[in-house]
A and B are shown apart, each in its own frame.
Chain A
Amino acid sequence: MVTETKIQKNLKSPIPVPGTDEKVTDLVIVHDPNKCTGCNQCMIGCAYKHYKTFDKWYGLLYVYENPEKRGTYVNANCQHCVYPMCLAACPKEAIYKDEKGIVRISPLLCVGCGTCNQACPIGIPRLDQERLISVKCDFCDGEYPMCFQMCSAGALNLLPRKEAYEYVKKLRGV
């Protein structure tokens, strides 16, 4: 119940994106596997933005070769869900949705149990091996996300949630 109240409260105050009718909470990153070349620039850019290293494994999103279709790549990046499973599952209430609609993990409250990783349908939160807490995408604090800026083949799109849903349906031929 506590979790639900928190989500409802936070969803009441989405922040408008300057120059558009959109709210930050409405925008999501959508990956187009037909365009992705597997260059991993999104992971590298994310790693530099958050850890000041070009080691891609520090990135907070993931690109893998699709084992079912050679030469194509799948991507897992946080969707900052309207009702986040990670938030609902956290036993320490360390995960919250901030006023911009970004799902965040409080480094002070997190104990690194990994429940969020298990609860997330695409396993986005990961363990920070140095700090021993869970970390995840913070949507670059509501700026243009670095992964989106760095994508070298235009495979990452920044779309309003409704449009993103339609885009994905189209990609899947639904």
Chain B
Amino acid sequence: MIMANSISQTANSRGHKKYGYFLGCVMPAKMPWAEKATLMISKHLGLDFEEMKETLCCVRPGVWKAINTDWWLTLTSQNLANAEKQGIILVDSCNGCWISHYETLKELTEEPAKLEMVNRNLSSIGMHFSGDLKVKHFLEVLYEDVGLKKIRSNVVRPLDGFRIMRHIGCHARKHGDKLPGYFDEILRATGVEIIDTPYDKTCCGLLLYFSDPHTSIFDRIGVKMSTAKELDIDAYAIICSGCYDQFERAVKVFKDERGISFDTPIVHFSELLAIAFGYKPDDFGMKYCRPIPTTKFIEKLASKEGKK
């Protein structure tokens, strides 16, 4: 434990920020392009940014908090204890992972009795958490630690002419308008035109899926994707892996059950940044492993390049 603290304090005292990126469950399984693009843009912006090692499930608060808050805190704190040991700033881009880590850290640092309870449980597997950790959303890292100015200066291929809709997800809205604001500003820095719709705020339905699948698919994603189709936009930008999981599932259900195909590609925020920074779609495998092909998007990009 003493060693873990000393590593962390050394990192802080040097003023050097070392980030550990928590991938979560969905990203490695379904979004390899997002994982690659996120790591690429982070390196491009000069961040000491690597995938976090020794991770477990974030332990989704939406389920576990209701079942037993103490279990949720204990299970989540394993990731926090590992991050503390590694002397990193824990970074999440999935809102579910972020809120789980962020709120656990908040509860444990504000309430000593809960920290004591967690450490009692962690001691049975030889772990300890002292609370010396920072948890950040990837948007906070980009906006606060890198800065919009630096991001703009790295844009060499502005995506002007691309019309997108965006979905940031529920948990990112929980602590005010900060994260939705960062999301929009960074997206605009890439040059895209953001199209506002009445359904921008609407939940993707992931949290509701196991309770009411019909509403979750048809009344949440359905309205979003239908609006995207009506407006003929180029891409739907998301940042949360949990939301992506739900978008992907819903698109398949629509096709199988109703024979409706949506052709608006769902792209990760980092992919748009990577393209704007000059990377090619093939550099991060943009066309692979996608239920909705990104072919049209890539072709538009190529034709825009060709015109220059």
Contact = CB atoms under 8 A, between A and B. Distances in A.
B207 interface: yes
A16 B210 CA distance: 38
B116 interface: no
B200 interface: yes
Interface in B190-205: 197-203, 205
Given A38-B220, A39-B207, A39-B208, A150 B62 contact: yes
Interface string A144-161: 001001111110000000
Report the contact-size class of chain A (Cβ under 8 Å from the partner): 20 to 34
Contact of A45 (B65, B219, B223): B65
A55 B211 contact: yes
B171 interface: yes
B283 interface: no
A70 interface: yes
Contacts of B202: 37-38, 71
B170 to A, nearest CB: 4
A140 to B, nearest CB: 11
Given A71-B199, A152-B207, A56 B66 contact: no
Contact of A152 (B99, B197, B210, B215): B99
Nearest to B198: A71
A49 interface: yes
B67 interface: yes
A48 B219 contact: no
B174 interface: yes
Contacts of B198: 69-72
Interface in A27-70: 35, 37-41, 43-45, 47-49, 54-57, 65, 69-70
B106 interface: no
14 contacts: A37-B170, A38-B202, A39-B207, A40-B207, A41-B62, A44-B62, A44-B66, A45-B65, A56-B208, A57-B212, A65-B219, A70-B198, A71-B202, A150-B62
